């Protein structure tokens, strides 16, 4: 935003150089966040979830019928959960476009997810031109349809990189561990050892250890089927979706695009580093659709107002950089919380369907579970239940990791 901004003044030179370099390098190709992970073995790149945004054209005069399906309370396009899916959402823009966004571990997981929900997904997508005749059952056709309708994701923020099955295991592990901590209160030495033996025997901890050993591999086939169900619930005390579509001033589009691409490609974590200051934001994506529309989609915890205020108070500068070029953005930026809220409300888009693999779990829970799982696995390897000084070390362990228990 301003040149005096410390974060950017220091990087202005680097940014400019890399901007020119990347613009030269990437001239001709469309630099987007790739839905496919980089080929493994050669440097790899950052692991973690991938995403794509699909925009399908609603056939003329069929919007009303589509809307009726989306508004049908019995219709849930994401009823069946699937392996490797973090979050998925569906929404319409105007009468012309239907958007589908998904965050997954592997592209095949996403296709598999759609195929599994074929009956309900087809009910929505059959109003769109180009959708395969047989629907999602036709996996080849579906794949071609998705590839043909991808929207460029300019910026993708992830608060955690772990695959879905690992996060689920870590969350369960934390629950078991908290139960253990509670049960151990007032227990005798002997009972404590028994409880600890019980905990380490549990599948969660055992499997967690296995899973952690195999990061990046396709392990964990032993996971129960019901573990993967997506919960279609939203509300307070839940993870919620936020979708925004705002028009950008025409003359500012190019600059904004460059800024977003720098964030993704040149590894200058413009928005990305700043977003990590938000303790309630799981994922965020920014795309520029059409000629001049900014599409922002995020997954956050809890109450909308609290989330917006976090934007305006924790990462005001960065948010101003991304949203600043939009028409109707408050003059004083996101620090003017009231006007900023009004801007977001005015441009917010209703998310018609939303599902996630851990909607009742907050970002902090996920992060602390993952950290705790690692620490606990280390502890388990070092101390068996008969270790003479187990109680002492357990106390030290709890004191050291007490912030992960809140």
Non-local (6+) Cβ contacts of 198 within 8 A are 180
The one among 214, 255, 378, 396 contacting another protein by CB under 8 A? 396
Binding to another protein, residues 249-288 (CB under 8 A): 279-280
Q: Which residues of 202-211 are buried (b: 16+ CB within 10 A; e: fewer)?
A: bebbebbbeb
For residue 136, count CB atoms less than 10 angstroms from its CB and return exposed for 0-12, middle for 13-18, buried for 19 or more.
buried
Nearer to another protein, 129 or 313 (CB): 313
Token pair of 102, please?
A: 């998904």
- 26 in contact with another protein (CB under 8 A): no
Q: Which stretch binds another protein (CB under 8 A): 41-49, 158-166, 350-358, 390-398?
A: 390-398
- 5 in contact with another protein (CB under 8 A): no
- 362 in contact with another protein (CB under 8 A): yes
Q: Which stretch binds another protein (CB under 8 A): 18-26, 37-45, 243-251, 341-349?
A: 341-349
Q: Which stretch binds another protein (CB under 8 A): 161-169, 221-229, 307-315, 377-385?
A: 307-315
- 312 in contact with another protein (CB under 8 A): yes
3-state secondary structure of 4: coil
| Contact (CB, 8 A) for 241 and 355 | no
- 172 in contact with another protein (CB under 8 A): no
The one among 342, 378, 382, 384 contacting another protein by CB under 8 A? 342
Q: Which stretch binds another protein (CB under 8 A): 23-31, 89-97, 131-139, 299-307?
A: 299-307
The one among 22, 76, 293, 339 contacting another protein by CB under 8 A? 339
- 191 in contact with another protein (CB under 8 A): no
Round to whole Å and give the CA distance between 95 and 273: 36
| Contact (CB, 8 A) for 270 and 259 | yes
Angstrom distances, CA of residue 54 to CA of 210, 254, 264, 363? 35, 22, 19, 26
List, edge to edge, every strand of the sheet that includes 50-57: 150-151, 50-57, 97-104, 85-93, 353-356
Angle at 212 between CA 395 and CA 82, to 5 degrees: 120
Round to whole Å and give the CA distance between 347 and 34: 27
- 302 in contact with another protein (CB under 8 A): yes
Nearer to another protein, 37 or 302 (CB): 302
- 188 in contact with another protein (CB under 8 A): no
Nearer to another protein, 66 or 308 (CB): 308
- 327 in contact with another protein (CB under 8 A): no
Round to whole Å and give the CA distance between 364 and 159: 10
Q: Which stretch binds another protein (CB under 8 A): 15-23, 84-92, 154-162, 327-335?
A: 327-335
- 338 in contact with another protein (CB under 8 A): yes
- Measured in degrees and rounded to the nearest 5, phi and psi for residue 354 equal -145, 135
Round to whole Å and give the CA distance between 401 and 54: 42
- 388 in contact with another protein (CB under 8 A): no
Angstrom distances, CA of residue 271 to CA of 28, 131, 329, 330? 25, 35, 18, 19
Residues contributing to the site for another protein (CB under 8 A): 178, 181-182, 185-186, 236-237, 279-280, 301-303, 305-306, 309-310, 312-314, 330-331, 335-339, 341-342, 345, 360, 362-365, 368, 392, 394-396, 398-400, 402-403, 405-406
């Amino acid at each position: 935003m301003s040149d005096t901004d410390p974060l950017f003044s220091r990087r202005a030179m680097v940014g400019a150089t890399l901007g020119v370099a990347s613009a030269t390098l990437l001239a001709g190709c469309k630099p987007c966040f790739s839905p496919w992970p980089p080929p493994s073995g050669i440097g790899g790149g950052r692991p973690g979830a991938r995403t794509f945004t699909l925009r399908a054209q609603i056939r003329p005069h069929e919007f009303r019928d589509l809307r009726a399906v989306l508004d049908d309370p019995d219709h849930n396009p994401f009823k069946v959960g699937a392996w490797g899916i973090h979050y998925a959402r569906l929404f319409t823009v105007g009468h012309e476009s239907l958007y589908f966004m998904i965050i997954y571990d592997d592209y095949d997981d996403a296709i598999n997810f759609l195929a599994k929900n074929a009956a309900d997904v087809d009910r929505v997508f059959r109003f769109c031109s180009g959708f395969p005749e047989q629907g999602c059952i036709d996996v080849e056709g579906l794949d071609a349809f998705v590839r043909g309708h991808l929207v460029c994701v300019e910026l993708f923020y992830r608060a955690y990189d772990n695959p879905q099955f690992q996060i689920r295991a870590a969350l369960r592990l934390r629950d078991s561990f908290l139960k253990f901590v509670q049960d151990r209160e007032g227990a005798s030495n002997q009972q404590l050892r028994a409880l600890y033996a019980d905990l380490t025997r549990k599948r969660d901890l055992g499997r967690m250890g296995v899973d952690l050993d195999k990061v990046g591999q396709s392990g964990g086939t032993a996971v129960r089927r019901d573990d993967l169900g997506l919960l279609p619930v939203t509300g307070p005390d839940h993870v919620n979706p936020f979708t925004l579509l705002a028009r950008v001033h025409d003359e500012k589009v190019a600059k904004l695009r460059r800024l977003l691409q720098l964030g993704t490609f040149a590894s200058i974590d413009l928005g990305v580093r700043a977003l990590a200051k938000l303790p309630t934001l799981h994922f965020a994506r920014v795309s520029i659709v059409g000629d001049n529309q900014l599409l922002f989609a995020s997954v956050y915890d809890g109450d909308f107002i609290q989330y917006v205020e976090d934007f305006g108070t924790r990462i005001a500068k960065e948010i101003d950089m991304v949203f600043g070029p939009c028409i109707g953005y408050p003059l004083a930026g996101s620090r003017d919380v009231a006007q900023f809220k009004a801007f977001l409300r005015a441009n917010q888009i209703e998310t018609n369907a939303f599902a996630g693999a851990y909607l009742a779990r907050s970002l902090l829970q996920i992060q602390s579970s993952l950290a705790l799982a690692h620490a606990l696995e280390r502890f388990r390897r070092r101390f068996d239940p008969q270790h003479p000084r187990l109680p002492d070390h357990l106390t030290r362990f709890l004191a050291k990791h007490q912030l992960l228990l809140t």
